[in-house]
Amino acid sequence: MTSGPVQATSPTQRSADFPGPTPAQLLEFVRRTAADADLVSALPLDPEGRTWARLDGPGGSEAWLIGWPPGTGTGWHDHAESIGAFTTATGELTENALAVRLPAEGWRSLELAEGIDRRRKLPPGASRSFGHHHVHEVLNESRTEHAVSVHAYYPPLPLMRRFGRTGSVLRLEQVERPEDWQ
């Protein structure tokens, strides 16, 4: 049996074997939802811990409206095989990300090469989409202001891997399943 070249699916397209929204469709959804001032202002904000409300995302995706008190963050994590997008609705968030795809499994500790760290500020209206196994942390670095954001993932999150980081060493610390956060 011979085979020809394999055509990669672009980030804005999905093949028949992977139905569901594209990253571009998730991005459009989170932007549109973040622009709904009534929805955003209805989220109860806790002065100490993050708050969230589950939303109906497009095409079977999982979506969340999240409130971030000053000084809070997610810690380093990924979203397994899910693609995703998020938008800052109010306040400003910071995303620290790794510009490298990590192995999906089979490791507990990795030494990261220099130059793979990426940092971006996300003021209101700023958005971000990402692919499978995107490792990042999201922070509200403000000392005084809450932030609110909208996130969408497809397929719905099967798990999240949480990581600890010390300098250039990234360690797998925990695997969370949906029942841990719903």
Range scoring the smallest mean pLDDT among 15-24, 29-38, 84-93, 133-142:
15-24
At residue 164, the 3 state secondary structure works out as strand
Which of these, 127, 99, 100, lies nearest to 26 by C-alpha position? 127
As a whole number, the mean pLDDT across the chain is 88
At residue 75, the 3 state secondary structure works out as coil
Confidence at residue 12, expressed as pLDDT on a 0 to 100 scale: 41
Residue 73 DSSP one-character state:
B
Confidence at residue 123, expressed as pLDDT on a 0 to 100 scale: 98
Residue 171 has pLDDT above 80, yes or no: yes
Predicted confidence band of residue 18 (pLDDT cuts 50, 70, 90): low
Query: What is the average per-residue pLDDT within 164-168?
Result: 95
Which residues, 6+ apart, have CB-to-CB distance to 126 below 8 Å?
87, 88, 120
Predicted confidence band of residue 182 (pLDDT cuts 50, 70, 90): low
Q: How many C-beta atoms surround the C-beta of residue 23 within 10 A?
A: 21
| Dist CA 146 CA 72 (whole Å) | 9
Strand partners, 104: none
For the segment 76-122, what is each residue's pLDDT rounded down to a tens digit?
Answer: 999 988 999 999 999 999 999 999 888 777 889 999 999 999 999 99
Let me know if 110 is exposed, middle or buried by CB neighbors in 10 A (0-12, 13-18, 19+).
middle
Residue 8 DSSP one-character state:
P
Predicted confidence band of residue 13 (pLDDT cuts 50, 70, 90): very low
For the segment 63-82, what is each residue's pLDDT rounded down to a tens digit?
Answer: 999 999 999 999 999 998 89
Residue 178 has pLDDT above 50, yes or no: yes
Separation in Å, CA 100 to CA 59, 74, 94, 96, 125: 28, 19, 19, 13, 26
Confidence at residue 14, expressed as pLDDT on a 0 to 100 scale: 43
Alpha-carbon dihedral sign for residues 87, 92, 93, 94? positive
